[in-house]
Amino acid sequence: MMMPLQESVMEEASLNPYFHSLDLTIRQNRHRQDALIEVLHKAQEQFGYLEKDVLTYIARELKLPLSRVYGVATFYHLFSVQPKCKHTCSICLGTACYTKGGQALLDILTKELHLKAGGRSADGKVFVRVERCIGNCGVAPAAIYDGKVSKQQTSEQVLATVKGWLEEQ
Ligand code: FES
């Protein structure tokens, strides 16, 4: 059965470390509605762009209508509601993936390609993000390349995939 959006957003928020960081910003601003721009900044910094679930979460936490939050997010050029990168590499750092070496998958991207979680490549082609358990713990450590889950990844495989993207013409 499909979960209502609000419920699924809250579940995602409780699992995703990026939401924890966003939450901290919201709490530091005491859930003030006039902190919306600052909160949107933090969210974009964390997630790379302002996807609908993130906007829904912010609207709920600041007790603002989603239409208002969406309106602000689309009004300012510095915010983006669409992923701007051609490719996305997500590394799962949920417990199972982490204990099976997930962190090394992220570290190799930082060490070799200067890519960090929540960041994009200098040419804007690749966005890297961290997931907190994607429900495929049996294939840990998992990486998701452009939305496709790849099982039991090694640092070499992650590096080769992302390097390949960067070398694309
Ligand atoms: S911890 Fe990575 S899929 Fe569950």
Question: Which helix (H) or strand (E) element contains residue 90?
Answer: strand 87-92
**What pTM did the predictor assign?**
0.59
Ligand 1 site, residue 48, Cβ cutoff 6 A: no
The predicted-structure confidence for 49-62, as pLDDT tens digits, reads as follows: 888 889 999 999 99
- Domain 87-167 indexed as CATH 3.40.30.10: yes
The reported pLDDT for the residue numbered 109 is: 97
Q: What percent of the chain has pLDDT over 70?
A: 89
Whole-angstrom Cα distance, residue 22 to residue 20? 5
Question: Ligand 1, closest atom to CA 142?
Answer: 2
pLDDT at 104: 98
Q: Which fold has domain 5-75?
A: Arc Repressor Mutant, subunit A (1.10.10)
The two beta strands, 87-92 and 126-131, are parallel
Domain positions in the chain are 5-75, 87-167
Residue 6 has pLDDT above 80, yes or no: no
Q: Rounded to the nearest 10 degrees, how much is the dihedral formed by the CA atoms of 22, 24, 27, 29?
A: -70
140 Cβ closer than 6 Å to some ligand 1 atom: yes
Q: Is the pLDDT of residue 161 over 80?
A: yes
- pLDDT at 79 exceeding the cut of 90: no
pLDDT band at residue 15 using 50, 70 and 90 as cut-offs: low
3-state secondary structure string across 96-154 = HHHHCCHHHHHHHHHHHHCCCCCEECCCCCEEEEEECCCCCHHHCCCEEECCEEECCCC
What pLDDT, on a 0 to 100 scale, did the predictor assign at position 70?
Answer: 92
Rounded to the nearest whole angstrom, what is the distance from the C-alpha of residue 151 to the centroid of ligand 1? Answer: 10
Distance 15 CA to ligand 1 centre (A): 11
pLDDT of residue 14: 57
**Candidates 90, 133, 148, 149: which one to mutate for ligand 1, based on the most atoms within 8 Å of Cβ?**
133
Name the band, by pLDDT with cuts 50, 70 and 90, for residue 12: low
Binned at pLDDT 50, 70 and 90, residue 118 comes out as confident
